[in-house]
Amino acid sequence: MSTSSIERQTLTIRMACRRFTRLTNAFRKQLDNLKAALALHFAWYNFVRIHRMLRITPAMAAGITDHVWDFADLL
């Protein structure tokens, strides 16, 4: 069993969300704010960001949407 996919996901979250970087002042102060930040990150990662290997978003690959979302669609 390999943990490389979990380690890659953790690194992606750490690089994208300031709240998860080490030695920072942007630590979570309220659980609701942390949940909102994670939900926004996962929505951006799956609906807005075009992945290099897929050349489309994961939501498009799964058939959930037919176009790349912009931030207006996301919000």
- Give yes or no for residue 10 having a pLDDT over 90: no
Rounded Cα gap, residues 19 and 26, in angstroms = 5
Tens digits of per-residue pLDDT, 17-64? Answer: 877 777 666 666 788 888 888 899 999 999 999 999 899 999 999 999
Hey, how many other C-beta atoms are within 10 angstroms of the C-beta on 20?
Answer: 20
Say which amino acid occupies 23.
L
Global pTM reads 0.76
Say which amino acid occupies 61.
A
Following DSSP, what letter does each residue of 1-59 receive, concatenated?
A: ---HHHHHHHHHHHHH-GGGSSS-S---S-HHHHHHHHHHHHHIIIIIPPPTTTSS-HH
